[in-house]
Chains A and B, each alone.
Chain A
Amino acid sequence: MNRKWMLIAAAALLGFAALPGARAAEMSEKEKALASPYPNDLGPDSLPDDVVKSYPENVQKGYHILKGEVQKDGKWVYNNGKSGCVQCHTASRPLNSRFLEPEGGMDEAAQTANLAKLKKDQPELFKDLTVWQPEVKVFNRYVKRMMNKPGCSITKLEGKSIWEFLEYDGAHRKTGENAAKWAEHRKKLVAEFKEKYPKRYEELKAANDL
């Protein structure tokens, strides 16, 4: 009898020992993304309702798509991580991004002109790349790049909506009278990140990718 229980215990131990390996093999894309974190990931994964509601309707749509929500009976409901940006990483990553795309939509010249205006009116936005990275079409390129990632199901229309949201949101939440609040938020995230992931912090700092 004793021998039988010993065998069962040994088998169970072996099973437990094998678990971490099996787990690693089945690591999801989201887990992989979080394994290489950015300061953005430490921020909230949604915007306050009042902020969202203050945005134009088409921009609000982009926000919901980004968060992986689909419309059901007139309401936006979470699609279990099967759509939007949350397929591969949390919504925190784009929502707390340092990227800032000047307004101007598809018109690159208009964006360039707005960038020049920003530089003149708000020079502080160009002083700390860990807080703001103002760049023409930066979100446009990133959204398209993410859409090209293997397994990404974001359609062209969805991508466009996400980009419209990110461009609008950046210009309104990260500049002007909100600039100071945004700077405080980003600096807090970077400080927390440095404390939580010191090695990764140094890595990203060296690569100018904080």
Chain B
Amino acid sequence: MGYRKAFYLANFLMLGVFIWALAADNKAEWKDYQSNYFKMTADSFDKLAAAEKDPAKKSDDEAQAKKFRHMPLEIRQIIVSDLDRYDRCTTCHVAMDEYTNPTMTTPWDKDPKVSAVYKGHPKIDEALVKAHPFTKFGCTACHEGQGLATTTAGAHGHVLHWEHPMLSVKAGHIQGSCVKCHGNFETLKGAEIAAKGRAQFKQHGCYGCHAINGWGQTVSVGLEAIADKPFERIAGYNYDRVRIDGKRLPENEWNIQNWILAHLTNDPQQVTPNDPFAHLNAEPIPPSGMADFSSFVDDKDTGHGELSRADADAIVAYLSGMTQEELIPYRWHVPAPPEREPHFADAKAHGHYVFQKYGCAGCHGLDAKQGRRRFNALGPGQKPYDEKMTDAEKFAEMEKGAEPTLPDLMGTYTHDELIKKIGNGVAAAEAKKWDPKGPLPMVFMPVWKDKISKNEMDDLATWLLSTAKKDDTGF
């Protein structure tokens, strides 16, 4: 083939690609949504015009209908300069575009047969939405998702490698966005689920291991930026083990919300099994030290674990607001007054409050009733260690290891001894292992003397001593 023929062929190929690109763009998903919306709006104006008797108004309605029938299809976007974001959500959700639809409502807002994509924003008249004008805040500041994308899947962010998909409104995860800016979210109308999440976080003792912005312990990772963490980095090779409602997560659902939810609704040991027998590492690494909140059944009526699914979703909502990556302008922040310490007339009641406040329940169980699992710790009810056991047999014994059940021990301490014990903690290296060659139990008793005040410590000891079981040793 001569150069001239090759040149012609290349040009025709290029033309073909160009035509294909035009055709593909013409069939873009968003164009259908926009043209349908314009047609629906034009039809509704036609209907109004037909019913209108005032000639001037009739003419206006007809003009509106004509305008919408000839409205050009175009990418629409809200420029959120404060966040340096460009949210193109209104390209499909035209009814929520303030410039095209100033009322941001439609005649079919309440029609269940019409898809939500053509409707105005729910609760548009409520203070919550009014306080967050879209022209300033855009969409993704609250909803998350991928603002620049112009396909449904891409924009909603449920695609592989997009770590910030739209937060679920149904499960309340979206309320995490309130937490990002509103320090006072616990008293904020509309953020009740996130507030419940924080209350659950406190009650179940999560602060005992996880710190958030300096409050809490450092036994495990700090969670002040958990919402920024990429699932794919922290999940390691464990994708298949991250399950929600017993089902493997599809790739497009790999995100931090599901990672947290999987830990709260499954046994975290299954989600993060690590390498307790050092098959892959030089040293054994214990599975997740987090308690199995799905197995501590405390509600016989519902049969759910210590955390119900709604509780778990509330915690996910709260933690979804734990971001440091998003450069939220200071003007957006609403500070909260310092948390008030309740007053207690009774030392025991105050002690119980202190137990919850510092997250002791994370290891010692709700109301100190039952020590939680401590993998490979020596504990009651275990068979003696035998090197000949299979890995599965060893694993079964290792997971019987537990944190102390405090009422069993409280009778053996004086008030002062207990304060000293809590104050000094128990170092991880002091743990007694069931399998001497196995991993060091991950969870340990931190040093509390610098965190808990003297008055609090006194009352905590008073309450703990009051939980002591009756001495049945006979001496």
Contacts and interface: CB of A to CB of B under 8 A. Distances in A.
Contact of B412 (A32, A141, A150, A207): A141
Contact of A150 (B377, B414, B424, B473): B377
A156 B436 contact: no
Given A25-B436, A148-B409, A156 B378 contact: no
A206 to B, nearest CB: 11
B451 interface: no
A160 interface: yes
B107 interface: no
B380 A156 contact: no
A159 interface: yes
Interface core residue of B401, B409, B432, B473 (most chain A CB under 10 Å): B473
Interface string A140-155: 1110110111110000
Given A32-B430, A148-B412, A150-B380, A140 B475 contact: yes
A73 interface: no
Contacts of B413: 141, 145
A54 B405 CA distance: 41
A140 B473 CA distance: 10
Interface in B286-320: none
B70 interface: no
B473 A142 contact: no
A106 interface: yes
Given A32-B430, A141-B414, A207-B420, A106 B475 contact: yes
Nearest to B438: A25
A156 B471 CA distance: 11
B430 A144 contact: no
B389 to A, nearest CB: 17
Nearest to A137: B414
Contacts of B408: 148
Contacts of B424: 207
Interface string B371-404: 0000001111000000000000000000001001
A147 B411 CA distance: 12
Interface residue tally of chain B, by bracket?
20 to 34
Contact of B437 (A25, A32, A148, A163): A25
Interface in B93-117: none
Given A145-B412, A160-B475, A207-B420, A26 B430 contact: no
B428 to A, nearest CB: 12
B474 interface: yes
A160 B412 CA distance: 14
A29 interface: yes
Contacts of B409: 145, 148
A156 B472 CA distance: 9
8 contacts: A25-B436, A29-B432, A144-B411, A145-B409, A145-B412, A145-B413, A159-B473, A159-B475
Interface of B: 377-380, 401, 404, 408-409, 411-414, 417, 420, 424, 430, 432, 436-437, 471, 473-475
Given A148-B404, A148-B408, A207-B420, 17 more contacts: A25-B436, A25-B437, A26-B437, A106-B475, A141-B412, A144-B411, A144-B473, A145-B409, A145-B413, A148-B409, A150-B377, A150-B378, A150-B379, A151-B378, A151-B379, A163-B475, A164-B475
